[in-house]
Structure 1
């Protein structure tokens, strides 16, 4: 059986394939540079520890995009992950709160991003 078949069934990403993928969530709206420096720094730390990372800052600013456009895209990326890593003040973000609610409903591991990189570094 090819490895591909083991992890993907008709385009569905199975839990085993999502296990090492982490989605970074936190506040963006109303923050200088959309908080991209914090997102990128955490994504770099997680990648250095061997995680595959979905970083919402990677898409940058898209001309004409509204909040709902970004969320619609980011939620598709969240669904590819087995874990969500939360940046400081995530609870102040409507988008991050929605992402956490969905992550919990999907049975994903929800962790403080700093605790994750600190724990793994030990």
Structure 2
């Protein structure tokens, strides 16, 4: 079992792309993984994008692997998460691979 963080675009998308995050989390959990799904995070006290990112970056630090949802390259936050994962030498995969 791996601890996996799901990264992908949210800002500006319908329902903040939460349905895609929830579907990915369900699939990964069905495979027996522990999943950190940012779409399940509570609203930070400040309620800002920066607050959400601080929460996400802490979660990534505790993970073994990141799965990147489609469209992540167009997301500032997902690109930051991707860069941190690479800097921490975590495994990074596209969600379609499901081989983490």
| TM norm structure 1 | 0.77
| TM norm structure 2 | 0.93
- CA-to-partner distance for each residue in 1:64-115, whole Å, 9 max, x for gaps? 5110000001110111101000000100000000000000000000001121
Q: Which residues of structure 2 form unaligned runs of 5+? A: none
Are 1:83 and 2:78 an aligned pair? no
Q: Which residues of structure 1 form unaligned runs of 5+? A: 1-18
Matched length: 100
Q: Based on CA coordinates, which of the two structures has the bigger radius of gyration? A: 1
Structure 1 runs (4+) deviating above 6 angstroms are none
Greater relative CO, 1 or 2 (CA 8 Å, sep 6+):
2
- In structure 2, relative to structure 1, the CA distance for the partners of 1:37 and 1:63 (3 Å cut) is farther
Q: Secondary structure at the match of 2:67?
A: strand
